[in-house]
Amino acid sequence: MREFMNITKALADENRVRALLALRKGELCVCQITELFGLAASTVSKHLSILYQAGLVESRKEGRWMYYRLPGKEAPATVRRAIDWVAQSVNGAPRVAEDAARLKKILTMDPVKLCKRQCGK
């Protein structure tokens, strides 16, 4: 029951759902997700932390940057079903299409330059 409650709480925010959907394209740096949402990096990191705690995303650190991805086939069935349910439930929503178009442009940018620009360096 605890796993279910953590998952449902994590999915109770539009930005966290959007982040899950963005990660369907593959691993993303926090800077890329920050660029997509137009939010402060600290806000994006908090959202991703909640998703991580619920087991809905995995992370790795490389140097100064954090990367997130959807869990693999080894993830619990509850997690895989939740991610599939989210994707099916919002399929075709205008916001999802807008995010997909923006993400396509963001993925053409150099992530190192993007991160440095966001940090003001």
Cα(31)–Cα(106) distance, integer angstroms: 10
Cα(44)–Cα(6) distance, integer angstroms: 18
Domain boundaries, the chain: 2-119
Q: Residue 69: beta bridge partners? A: 58
Which secondary-structure segment (H or E) carries 67?
strand 65-69
Predicted pLDDT of residue 120: 62
pTM for this predicted structure: 0.90
Q: Is 59 left (phi over 0), alpha (psi -120 to 50) or beta?
A: beta
Q: Please state, as a whole number, how many other Cβ atoms lie within 10 Å of the Cβ of residue 11.
A: 20
User: Tens digit of pLDDT per residue, the chain (121 long)?
Assistant: 888 899 999 999 999 999 999 999 899 999 999 999 999 989 999 999 999 999 999 999 988 889 999 999 889 999 999 999 999 999 889 999 999 999 999 999 988 888 777 766 5
Cα(51)–Cα(56) distance, integer angstroms: 5
Q: For domain 2-119, give the fold.
A: Arc Repressor Mutant, subunit A (1.10.10)
Q: What is the DSSP string of 56-112?
A: S-EEEEETTEEEEE---TTS-HHHHHHHHHHHHHHTT-HHHHHHHHHHHHHTTS-HH
